[in-house]
Amino acid sequence: MLENNCFLATAESCTGGMIAAACTDLAGSSTWFERGFVTYSNAAKTEMLGVDAALIAQHGAVSEAVARAMAAGALAHSHAQVAVAVTGVAGPSGGSADKPVGLVWFGFALDGQVHAECQHFPGDRAAVRTATVRHALLRVVELLTPRPSPGG
């Protein structure tokens, strides 16, 4: 974040603020961490991030569309240039055939684009949440790391 001279915002559902906590556990994080939104309920996603309630109703809270909207909303409602959003089923209950326990959608907003991806993590609630935090932060680093240009 420092190398890219930017701030990070988080929008979290299934992790309940664990990504923001991992960031702010680091001394000096105030120079690159802007804010975190814990939007556990659908109402919070709508009220705090501007996620359209119709989008949640159509796709469900755990979906690509909602993860993308959460990431975009985190940028729109902050002063950050990079946002990560997570929404998933941490368990042990709440899963379904379409959205099993361990399914997590990630949204990443930066450089005027929103990326989304889905992961399925094994284990209990704690393992799913921990894996979600790890994946979210590693992907932010990957997305911010410049790739060498071809041939050079």
Question: Does residue 1 lie in a domain region?
Answer: no
Question: Does residue 105 lie in a domain region?
Answer: yes
Tens digit of each residue's pLDDT (9 = 90 or more) over 97-125:
899 999 999 999 999 999 999 999 999 99
The C-alpha angle with vertex 63 and arms to 39 and 43, in degrees rounded to 5, equals: 30
For the chain, the maximum distance between any two Cα atoms, rounded to a whole number of angstroms, is 50
Question: What Cα–Cα distance (Å) separates residue 49 from each residue in 4, 40, 88, 107?
Answer: 24, 12, 17, 13
Structural domains of the chain, count: 1
Question: Does residue 134 lie in a domain region?
Answer: yes
Tens digit of each residue's pLDDT (9 = 90 or more) over 46-81:
999 999 999 999 999 999 999 999 999 999 999 999
Q: What is the CATH number of the domain that holds 29?
A: 3.90.950.20
Question: Does residue 150 lie in a domain region?
Answer: no
Task: Let me know if 151 is exposed, middle or buried by CB neighbors in 10 A (0-12, 13-18, 19+).
Answer: exposed
Question: Does residue 3 lie in a domain region?
Answer: no
Domain that holds residue 41: 8-144
Question: Does residue 131 lie in a domain region?
Answer: yes
Q: What is the pTM of this model?
A: 0.95
